[in-house]
């Protein structure tokens, strides 16, 4: 596979050596929008952590109260050598303590109940705020993704398959949301709980705390190692999932073709390989994850053994009270979840970072066609004069070596789709463009609408380079009916009025009448409220084309481009549509691209394009008199019509 083809399959180039934090840096602008809300959630999280560490202390005090210790957390046997300065300070901070006192017992039982209730309240508030913010940011990112995708030019979609882009906007976005919600929340909980717990454990017994912290370097190494492996695996998994999504999307979009050619089994077999690859990579991730979690569990178990061994020794030798030992053990139990969460959060952050890197590819993509060179005011009205000056155009995607878009398919120099095009189309005139398939007719129309960017100065609108016109102003002045008619899953009326902010039914119906569609619509049960289905599946090919013509007409454009838009209708319907369009075409620039000479014979100027260049131009009668390509095409179509009548 060539490098460019690999880029196409993977959905964009990867940046080697990008770290987790560099990928996640793209989230800072979104987090900045919710600074106050996040601060509230973090305050609630800190309060929850502070309250949580009180419960083990209260449990130790209750134990020492029942055991009859003179002061909480101090050693039992007098005269034992120990550093009790910190414990004395901690003991002095304990209020209402009396050994073997029911009052002390009741007071600290009440403290535990209140702390648990407050912790539950703060836990709810933390989740409500932080998880809510993650959903808000998910909404913002999804909106930005759509905004970015809508402004990208066709080149971007040639290089990136639709299914892969959909996978990024769904699966990858969900992984990023997990970082913003549970990832941040559990990271904060883990850090606060660990810091406070270790601080208090150090006061109770510094030496025992050091024993407990012995496994920490091993934990850090394990987290670093497994985190890196998980990140790399998850990047590959998401890329595989994107490939699967693209395969499914292509099969669903082309399901009628698959069935028509009885290729169901072949497509299932074609799906099997990437599906197995996806499962295999997930199994690798599961294998890594299954080694990571038991490793953490073993380290946690080791820590408990150390506490039982060293803590029991200190208690038996009078160096630690029973309450201190139970408090120490309780705090250790409190640290179990943070230690487990450390692995889980690592997994979330690594997955989220890999996914955010894939989303950054879309969010940071820059459209090549924009208003950077625009000089004309958006309010300036376009009259419709179009001029081509020595136009030579090669598709920028020719480097993909796919054999399409003018590429020779053998890795050589890409062939120009259009070359040496010199043509002037006066405002208000009708120009027809004919020629064999693949000659560059559609490309010429797309360049006028600036779907692709022509070389600087090669196309002028009203005497000014096309790049000086704001893109939105230019396209709003153009009514474009492409070869491939696309209808949205909306009502027929909404499809016709697509692009209009406000519209009335009479407007829609008038446009449909011009396109000779209204009579068909009157036979529909819902008329203009009829749902057309995905891609207009409930309509015939001719009805779809006429809907697209009505959609272009209703915009009242200054430039009307009809790219082979009558190919799916019969000659009688074509005559009716052209008759209605003559009134619409009067006074506006019209470009007719067609294969039928009957469609173009009344045009002010007919241009014949062959092999990317203009070979003939003139009126219908002029070209017939020359006896060239157009005359030959006309004679063939006359013969076909006579044979059909016979």
Domain that holds residue 274: 3-363
113 and 184, same domain (yes or no):
yes
- Domain end, chosen from 329, 363, 397, is at 363
Answer yes or no: do 357 and 400 share one domain: no
Examine residue 526 and state whether it is found in any structural domain, yes or no: no
- H helix intervals, 503-588: 505-514, 518-521, 541-553, 571-585
Residues 309 and 397 occupy one common structural domain: no
Integer Cα distance of 291 and 296 in angstroms: 9
Q: Do the Cβ atoms of 185 and 127 come closer than 8 Å? A: yes
Q: Which residues contact 158 (CB under 8 A, 6 or more apart)?
A: 8, 397, 400, 405
* CATH number of the domain encompassing residue 598: 3.40.50.300
Give how many domains the chain has, as a whole number: 2
Residue 523 lies in a domain: no
Kindly state whether residues 329 and 448 are assigned to the same domain: no
Contact indicator for 454, 153 with CB cutoff of 8 Å: no
Residue 129 tokens, joined: 């705020």
Give bridge partners of residue 418 from the DSSP assignment. 393
- What values do phi and psi take at 632, rounded to 5? -65, -45
As a whole number of angstroms, the distance between CA 286 and CA 347 comes to 11
pLDDT computed for residue 113 by the predictor: 92
Do 359 and 427 lie in a common domain? no
Residue 311 DSSP one-character state = I
Same domain assignment for residues 30 and 74: yes
Please return the burial class of 377, using the count of CB atoms within 10 Å of its CB with bins 0-12, 13-18 and 19+. exposed
Interior CA angle at 565 toward 562 and 571, to 5°?
Answer: 120
**Per-residue confidence (pLDDT) for residue 121, from 0 to 100:** 92
Phi, psi of 264 (to 5 degrees): -60, -50
- Write the burial class of residue 3 (CB in 10 Å: 0-12 exposed, 13-18 middle, 19+ buried): exposed
Is 116 contained in some domain? yes
Pairing type for strands 464-465 and 459-461 reads: antiparallel
Is there a domain that residue 467 lies in?
A: yes
Helix (H) or strand (E) run with residue 481 in it: strand 478-481
For residues 326 and 205, is the Cβ–Cβ distance under 8 A? no
Residues 278 and 205 in one domain: yes
Distance CA 623, CA 630 (A): 6
Query: Which pTM was predicted?
Result: 0.70
CATH number of domain containing 242: 1.20.1560.10
Contact present, 222 and 296 (Cβ < 8 Å)? yes
Q: Do residues 397 and 447 share a domain?
A: yes
Could you report how far apart the first and last alpha carbons of the chain are, in Å? Answer: 53
Which of 330, 363, 396 delimits the end of a domain?
A: 363
**Does a structural domain hold residue 626?**
yes
- Tokens, residue 592: 């007719």
Phi then psi dihedrals of residue 285, to 5 deg:
-65, -45
Instruction: Answer yes or no: is 530 within a domain.
Output: no
Distant-in-sequence, close-in-space partners of 190: CB < 8 Å, separation ≥ 6? 337, 338, 341, 342, 345
Domain co-membership, 146 together with 192: yes
Task: Note the pLDDT of residue 117.
Answer: 92
Closest CA to 23 of 130, 163, 176: 176
For residues 183 and 35, membership in a common domain is answered with: yes
Q: Please, are residues 511 and 496 in contact by the beta-carbon 8 Å criterion?
A: yes
Q: What is the 3-state secondary structure (H, E, C) of 350-369?
A: HHHHHHHHHHHHHHCCCCCC
List the strands of the sheet with 386-393, edge to edge.
418-425, 386-393, 459-461, 464-465
- DSSP-derived letter for residue 75 is -
DSSP codes, 615-626:
EEEE-HHHHHHH
Which residue do the tokens 């889980």 mark? Answer: 344
Going from the first residue of the chain to its last (646 residues), give the mean pLDDT of each consecutive group of 10, the final group possibly shorter: 38 52 81 88 88 84 78 57 53 72 84 90 89 89 88 81 79 85 83 84 79 73 72 76 76 73 77 83 81 75 77 74 78 73 74 83 84 81 87 76 46 74 87 84 86 86 87 85 79 80 79 79 79 73 79 83 73 72 78 80 85 85 83 79 63
Same domain assignment for residues 71 and 207: yes
**Do 504 and 531 meet the contact criterion of CB atoms below 8 Å apart?**
no
Among 315, 348, 363, the domain boundary falls at: 363
How far is C-alpha 455 from the chain's CA centre? 31
Q: Is 229 left (phi over 0), alpha (psi -120 to 50) or beta?
A: alpha
- Residue 533 in domain: no
Reference 348, options 218, 198, 190, 241; nearest CA is 190
From CA 44, how far away is CA 131, in angstroms rounded?
Answer: 13
User: Do 35 and 152 share a domain, yes or no?
Assistant: yes
Residue 14 tokens read as: 């990867």
Give a yes or no: residue 446 inside a domain.
Answer: yes
Closest CA relative to residue 175, chosen from 23, 298, 37, 62: 23
């Amino acid at each position: 596979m060539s490098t460019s083809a690999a880029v196409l399959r993977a959905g964009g180039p990867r940046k080697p050596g990008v770290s987790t934090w560099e990928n996640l840096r793209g989230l800072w602008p979104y987090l900045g929008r919710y600074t106050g809300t996040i601060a509230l959630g973090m305050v609630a999280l800190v309060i929850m952590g502070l309250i949580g560490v009180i419960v083990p202390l209260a449990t130790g005090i209750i134990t020492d109260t029942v055991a009859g210790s003179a002061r909480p957390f101090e050693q039992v046997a007098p005269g034992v050598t120990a550093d009790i300065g910190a414990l004395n300070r901690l003991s002095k901070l304990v209020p209402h303590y009396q050994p073997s006192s029911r009052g002390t017992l009741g007071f600290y039982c009440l403290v535990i109940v209140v702390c648990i209730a407050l912790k539950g309240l703060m836990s709810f508030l933390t989740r409500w705020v932080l998880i809510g913010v993650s959903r808000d940011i998910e909404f913002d990112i999804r909106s930005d993704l759509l905004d970015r995708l809508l402004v990208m030019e066709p080149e971007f979609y040639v290089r990136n398959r639709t299914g892969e882009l959909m996978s990024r906007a769904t699966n990858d976005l969900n992984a990023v949301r997990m970082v913003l919600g549970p990832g941040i929340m559990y990271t904060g909980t883990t850090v606060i709980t660990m810091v406070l717990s270790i601080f208090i454990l150090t006061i109770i017994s510094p030496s025992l705390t050091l024993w407990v912290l012995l496994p920490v370097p091993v934990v850090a190494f394990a987290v670093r190692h497994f985190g890196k492996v998980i990140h790399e695996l998850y990047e590959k998994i998401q890329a595989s999932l994107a490939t699967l999504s693209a395969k499914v999307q292509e099969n669903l979009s082309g399901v009628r073709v698959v069935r028509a050619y009885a290729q169901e089994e072949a497509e299932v077999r074609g799906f099997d390989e990437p599906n197995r690859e996806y499962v295999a990579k997930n199994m690798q991730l599961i294998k890594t994850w299954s080694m990571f979690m038991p490793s953490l569990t073993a380290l946690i178990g080791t820590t408990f053994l150390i506490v039982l061994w060293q803590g029991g020794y200190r208690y038996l030798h009078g160096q630690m009270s029973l309450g201190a030992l139970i408090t120490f053990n309780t705090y250790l139990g409190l640290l179990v979840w943070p230690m487990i969460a450390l692995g889980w959060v690592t997994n979330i952050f690594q997955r989220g970072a890999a996914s955010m890197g894939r989303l950054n590819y879309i969010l940071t993509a820059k459209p090549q066609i924009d208003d950077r060179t625009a000089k004309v005011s958006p309010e300036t009205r376009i009259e419709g004069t179009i001029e081509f000056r020595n136009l030579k155009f090669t598709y920028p995607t020719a480097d993909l070596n796919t054999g399409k878009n003018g590429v020779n398919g053998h890795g050589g120099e890409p062939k120009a789709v259009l070359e040496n095009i010199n043509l002037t189309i006066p405002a208000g005139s009708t120009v027809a463009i004919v020629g064999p398939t693949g000659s560059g007719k559609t490309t010429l129309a797309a360049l006028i609408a600036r779907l692709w960017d022509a070389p600087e100065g090669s196309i002028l609108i009203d005497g000014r380079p096309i790049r000086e016109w704001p893109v939105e102003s230019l396209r709003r002045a153009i009514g474009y009916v492409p070869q491939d008619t696309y209808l949205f899953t909306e009502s027929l009326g909404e499809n016709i009025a697509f692009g209009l902010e406000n519209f009335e039914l009479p407007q829609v119906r008038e446009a449909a009448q011009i396109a000779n569609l209204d009579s068909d619509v009157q036979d529909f049960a819902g008329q203009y409220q009829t749902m057309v289905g995905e891609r207009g599946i409930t309509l015939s090919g001719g009805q779809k084309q006429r809907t697209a013509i009505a959609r272009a007409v209703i915009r009242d454009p200054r430039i009307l481009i009809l790219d082979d838009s009558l190919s799916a209708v019969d000659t009688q319907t074509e005559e009716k549509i052209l008759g209605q369009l003559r009134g619409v075409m009067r006074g506006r620039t019209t470009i007719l691209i067609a294969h039928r000479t009957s469609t173009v014979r009344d045009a002010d100027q007919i241009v014949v394009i062959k092999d990317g260049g203009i070979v003939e131009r003139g009126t219908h009668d002029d070209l017939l008199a020359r006896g060239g390509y157009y005359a030959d095409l006309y004679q063939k179509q006359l013969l076909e019509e006579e044979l059909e009548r016979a």
